[in-house]
Amino acid sequence: MYVNMYCIFYLKKLGLSRGKSLGGSSNLNLMIYQRGNPKDFDNWANITGDESWEYKNLLKYFKMSEDYHGNFPDPKYHGFGGPLTISKQSYEPLVKEWISAAEELGFNISDPNAEQTSSFSPIDTTTKMGQRASTYHAFLKDILTRKNLKIVRYAMVDKILMVGKNAAGVLYTRHGEKIEVLARKEIILSAGVFGSSAILQRSGIGPKYLLESLNIPMVHDLPVVGEGLQDHILTVVGPVLLNEPVSVIINNVINPGSILDYALNGQGPLTFGSVSGVGFFSTSQPKDPNWPNICAFFSPLGVGTSTAQDAARVLAQEFKYLQRYYNAFKGHHAVEVFLNLARPDSRGSVKIDSTDPNVPPLIDPNYYSDIEGKDIRAMVEGFKVIVKYFTTTTPWMKLGANPTPKHFPGCENFRLGSDSYYECHLRHYTASSWHSCCTNQMGPDNEKMAVVDSNLRVRGVQKIRVIDASIMPVISNANLNAPTIMIGEKGANTPIFHDNFKVILSTRSESGETILLDGTPSKEIISQLDDQIHIDPDSNAVVRLTTVNGQTQLFGHINNRMISYHDGENIHKLGDESLSEEVSDYLEIPEEIRVAHPPVAVNRSIDAVVTVELLIVVDNMLTSLLGGDVNRILEYYAVTVRSVNIRYATSSDPSVTVKLVGIVVIQNIANQPFIEDHRGPDGTYDANGILPDFGRFLVTNASAFPPHDLGALLTGVSMGSTGGLAYLSAACLQTYRASINRDEGATFRGVGILAHEMGHNLGAPHDGDAASGTGACPNEDRYIMSTAGGFGRNGHYFSTCSKATMNTFFGTAAANCLYSQESPTWHTPSPLLPGDLITFDDFCRVYRPEAYVSDTQTPDELCQNVRCKYRAPCNPPDEDFTCIWTATLNQMAPDGVACRTGERCTLGTCQN
């Protein structure tokens, strides 16, 4: 209940409902499916400074959920085959009159879920076969048996357990017992507009004065938690009495025929949720016909014996108060309009009144409290539009519609039809639309009303996100079920590139000084990259390789897209078999260094997920091969890290996740002395000299780089027979938490080397080394940690010896940083695989431009060792014809490459 000084209904108190069940308030609503106006979401993007919240970028998340069977099946705006069924109603009383009367007044008849304008239409509903399709039925019911899902019923969350500014777990009460659950990663609050704010406040995150008044230890003074509450203020216009028996009177439609129609066909009156049409329009303020501020729902229900009781229950009003009004019309055919203020200015608050989660919070929506009085004037004007609609249009005049047949109780002293009467009616007969939002608003860093950032992370603390309607900065102008589901979809599809993900450009000034610039692309470009990787890789993902001056060397196609190749003359010789002959090595850290830099001990469980925060440095040669385009470099290495993660995911113990926190792009060769100072007379480079210098480079420039656990140099230079080099067990140790890894920037052949060298950093020596404890795993088995690198099917896996040695390292204090996740944000590895960007033929053409994949191998053989064919002069050379030659690349196929119709190379085999 809440008290409101601006409303004068019974006792000035009003009940507010929320769905305390699986599926939340989607179990309580009128099942109307509406998204809101595109300008609502464009406004969110403007407020947050994040283009990913623009409607054009959110449309995919709306469509993602939908299985659309509604009134406007346009694939541009609606999705098909999603989990949430959207249906048009099989029973729509008087909807033709609703629409034809609106047309008479000049309103459009169009889809309110597309490019919404001032328009009227029938409604779409979240129903399936005439039954409610809640979010529980759509998203949860079919996955209850998942191993990574545990639902605790009959529980109430007390608070989030905090260790300093870090969320560590959750305390909840079940059947009187206090239970703690610890979190390995993040905690996501989806407790709704009232619950999420209350949990944060009880956890010590909120206004200082409130926390102190309840003796709650303050974790972070965040004054705006619980502030900014908005709702669609609702009143009822009607009953609009009719002279003809055309409306729905509940008592008259419940009969054996309607029951049978509902049971057998999911159709008929018993499927009807009380609303059959909707209308959006704008009042004089604000003046934007394409961004309506009034929403009117049309209900063709007459006045039955239980109307007053039903209205009191649904609208949470006092029964005796409404009974005085409705009793005079009992048995009359009539219709009603639920008039909503779709874009209110008034804001309220939610504040806990106790540390006991069972004590309801104090909720004050502050209806009609805006200083300039715009809200009440807009509703008065909206009321008058609806009265005009019923009294001046042909369909309703024929039915003798009377929208104001009697004074509402308490307004008897005002003349019916006057502005004063309408205002009195509004202040007496006001209800919630159950569309509350905005108590944990998102916004930019300098936004005083921002509780969360645009990635929904709570400000001032770590590892807490809020994903529900409370994060809306401003209420959208229609029902909130659809946009709340959209927020869930967007939150679940965490952006690949976060705000704090950094790209550092290493360039030169005119005087020859090294300059480190922030080259992180705009949020719009990052959002587009995110779209390409998440949604439509086949048509959008692009790899284009050119020299640094933009000259294309050769060209080919990947999935009908242009790709340029290097011919081996100017920059770097690609396509030879040298990578297959290269071996990877590691260096031991001197004992005196370890003694001089003792790690700080932490308490944690060894079975916790190890999170490796990885910084990648791309040398000038690879930068040139990728055209110097930051966006292409981001995409290529996002996919590279995804492929590395696949290899680490195969080791269930330990559980390792690689997070890419940033990329340093070296744009000028003079900016990489840690490489160039070690060039030999034969053109090869000394890896043993590069590695320590690269480690010092990471330390010297640490202030410009995102916090990281490991730094990996990706280089195109030849290091003789060495494909990479790393320090053993060096994660978390400055200067030594480094590796160098050869790559080609085209075929993802460097994935295996990066996985191997990271393995060294994480405590794994080579297989077959008895002195290091891996003698039981023969080097010849060619697992990832083989001296020659992984190969064949085993090349995607760590041997049991590697797992054991890494697990030993993870259990020491030297691995502390791998459990702390220091970076403020990180890059989630791309779900795209290398095989989405390259085919077997593309792989072969890098070996020789005219080469193509051999057709003599089985799909499984191809996935383990690629063979290519090409036409060349026969041997001896004096013959006047050419032969088809076969070359074995001794390379594993890229992850995800198509090997058979509908199948891909996965972990060395061809499978679905």
Rounded Cα distance between 782 and 802, Å, is 12
What is the model's pLDDT at position 627? 85
8 Å CB contact between 161 and 170: yes
DSSP labels for 164-175?
TTEEEEEEEEET
- Per-residue confidence at 912, pLDDT binned at 50, 70, 90? confident
8 Å CB contact between 421 and 415: yes
| Span 561-590, pLDDT tens digits | 222 222 222 222 222 233 333 444 777 776
What is the model's pLDDT at position 477? 95
What is the model's pLDDT at position 479? 95
Residue 442 has pLDDT above 60, yes or no: yes
What is the model's pLDDT at position 387? 97
| Span 392-428, pLDDT tens digits | 999 999 999 999 888 988 899 999 999 999 999 998 8
Q: Which residues, 6 or more positions from 522, have their beta carbon under 8 angstroms from its beta carbon?
A: 51
Position with higher pLDDT, 866 vs 713:
713
DSSP letter at 6 equals T
Q: How much is the average pLDDT of 418-443?
A: 92
Taking the CA atoms of 806, 811, 816 and 821 in sequence, report the sign of the dihedral they define: positive
Q: Which residues, 6 or more positions from 20, have their beta carbon under 8 angstroms from its beta carbon?
A: none
What is the model's pLDDT at position 534? 42
Neighbours of 434 (CB within 10 A): 22
| Span 657-685, pLDDT tens digits | 788 888 999 999 999 999 999 998 888 89
Residue 549 has pLDDT above 60, yes or no: no
Beta strand ranges found along 728-822 (DSSP E)? 738-742
Structure tokens at 455: 């990635």
Neighbours of 497 (CB within 10 A): 24
H/E segment holding residue 421: helix 419-428
Q: Share the mean pLDDT of the chain.
A: 82
What is the model's pLDDT at position 609? 63
What is the model's pLDDT at position 252? 84
What is the model's pLDDT at position 146? 78
What is the model's pLDDT at position 825? 39
Position with higher pLDDT, 638 vs 448:
638
What is the model's pLDDT at position 593? 63
Position with higher pLDDT, 148 vs 72:
72
State the catalytic residue, choosing from 54, 92, 635, 757.
757
Task: List residues bridging with 127 in a β-sheet.
Answer: 132
Point out the least confidently predicted range of 283-297, 333-347, 503-517, 869-883. 869-883
Q: Do domains 150-229+437-492 and 540-586+618-836 have the same CATH topology?
A: no
DSSP letter at 600 equals P
Point out the least confidently predicted range of 72-86, 95-109, 172-186. 172-186
Count of residues making up the chain: 912
| Span 599-612, pLDDT tens digits | 444 333 334 567 88
Known binding residues for Zn(2+) are 756, 760, 766
| Span 55-95, pLDDT tens digits | 999 998 999 899 999 999 999 999 998 999 999 999 999 99
| Span 473-516, pLDDT tens digits | 999 999 999 999 999 988 887 654 444 567 778 887 777 777 87
| Span 765-790, pLDDT tens digits | 999 989 888 999 998 898 999 887 67
DSSP labels for 47-95?
HHT-GGGSHHHHHHHHHHHEEEESS---TTT--SSSSEEEEE-S--TTH
Q: Clarify whether 757 is annotated catalytic.
A: yes
Q: 557: helix, coil or strand?
A: strand
Q: How much is the average pLDDT of 648-656?
A: 69
Position with higher pLDDT, 838 vs 77:
77
Position with higher pLDDT, 440 vs 658:
440
DSSP letter at 148 equals T
- Per-residue confidence at 226, pLDDT binned at 50, 70, 90? very high
What is the model's pLDDT at position 564? 26
Rounded Cα distance between 239 and 332, Å, is 9
Structure tokens at 144: 């209850």
What is the model's pLDDT at position 513? 79
- Per-residue confidence at 390, pLDDT binned at 50, 70, 90? very high
| Span 789-798, pLDDT tens digits | 677 778 889 9
- Per-residue confidence at 324, pLDDT binned at 50, 70, 90? confident
**Exposure of 683 by Cβ count < 10 A (0-12 exposed, 13-18 middle, 19+ buried)?**
exposed
Delimit the domains of the chain by residue range: 150-229+437-492, 540-586+618-836, 847-911
DSSP letter at 32 equals B
What is the model's pLDDT at position 592? 63
The 8 Å CB, 24+ separation contacts for 176-182 are: 179/155
Residue 220 has pLDDT above 90, yes or no: yes
What is the model's pLDDT at position 643? 86
| Span 196-205, pLDDT tens digits | 999 999 999 9
Residue 648 has pLDDT above 90, yes or no: no
827-854 per-residue burial string, b: 16 or more CB within 10 A, e: under 16: bbbbebbbbbbbbbebbbbbbbbebbbb
8 Å CB contact between 505 and 671: no
Q: How much is the average pLDDT of 364-385?
A: 94
Q: How much is the average pLDDT of 720-748?
A: 88
- The CA angle 561-563-569, to the nearest 5 degrees, is 165
pLDDT > 70: percent of the chain = 83
Residue 316 has pLDDT above 90, yes or no: no
Cis? peptide before 223, omega within 30° of 0: no
Q: Is 54 left (phi over 0), alpha (psi -120 to 50) or beta?
A: beta
- Per-residue confidence at 546, pLDDT binned at 50, 70, 90? very low
Cis? peptide before 654, omega within 30° of 0: yes
- Per-residue confidence at 874, pLDDT binned at 50, 70, 90? low
Write phi, then psi, for 490 (nearest 5 degrees): -65, -40
CATH fold of the domain at 150-229+437-492: FAD/NAD(P)-binding domain (3.50.50)
| Span 24-49, pLDDT tens digits | 888 888 899 999 999 999 999 999 99
Write phi, then psi, for 488 (nearest 5 degrees): -65, -45
| Span 742-757, pLDDT tens digits | 998 877 888 989 999 9
Write phi, then psi, for 503 (nearest 5 degrees): -115, 120
What is the model's pLDDT at position 528? 56
275-310 per-residue burial string, b: 16 or more CB within 10 A, e: under 16: bbbbbbbbbeeeeeeebbbbbbbbbbbbbbeebbeb
Domain 540-586+618-836 has what CATH class?
alpha beta
Task: List residues bridging with 234 in a β-sheet.
Answer: 340, 431
Task: List residues bridging with 614 in a β-sheet.
Answer: 660, 710
